[in-house]
Amino acid sequence: MSDNQIAYLLDPEIATIRKVQLSTVNFYKSIKLALGHDVVDCTKFDEKHLIFFDDNGLKEGITHYVSIKSLPDPYVGKIIFAAGNIEWTAPKISMSDILKRLTCYHSVLDPIVETSARTHGNVTSYISAVAGFKARIVPFEIKIQ
């Protein structure tokens, strides 16, 4: 058995998925380091793969989330896709096949602009001001590195 295992790291903050090496000797420590969190949870992605994620990710003030087909909860932050068998040196699924099963979303603020007109003689002046913002959630694409 190798001392390292290849996994895939999805990083929605920079909209990428890439290969990472995890230590099979200190597997959970390397997972925590790759995710940047100490409180990590795990669930099945499919019959052969697991996902690891920040267990405390769903909190106030999130800027994005990931929805994975067939899994009920949204996920926030980095996600590791790993082989379900520590004896395997890499996942048995491609990064592009993983991306087919998920959608990443982020929030967008659209300004609400109010315009008023004032007429003085033959001259009309238009004044625009931001009256607020309207929020919406939109999907975004993840690139394979």
pLDDT digits (tens, 9 = 90+) for 17-43: 999 999 988 999 999 999 999 899 999
Q: What is the DSSP letter of 30?
A: H
pTM greater than the 0.75 cutoff? yes
Residue 73 amino acid letter:
D
pLDDT tens digits along 42-74: 999 999 999 999 877 778 888 899 999 989 889
Residue 87's pLDDT band, with cuts at 50, 70 and 90, is confident
Region 1-24 average pLDDT: 92
> What is the SS3 assignment for 99?
helix
Please give the mean pLDDT across all residues of the chain: 92
pLDDT band at residue 128, thresholds of 50, 70 and 90? very high
Give per-residue burial for 45-73: e unless 16+ CB within 10 Å, then b: bbeebbbbbbeebeeeeeebbbebeebee
CA-to-CA distance for 73 and 75, rounded, in angstroms? 6
pLDDT of residue 22: 94
What is the Rg, in whole angstroms, of the alpha carbon atoms belonging to the chain?
A: 22
- pLDDT for the residue numbered 1: 57
Q: What pLDDT score does 24 carry?
A: 86
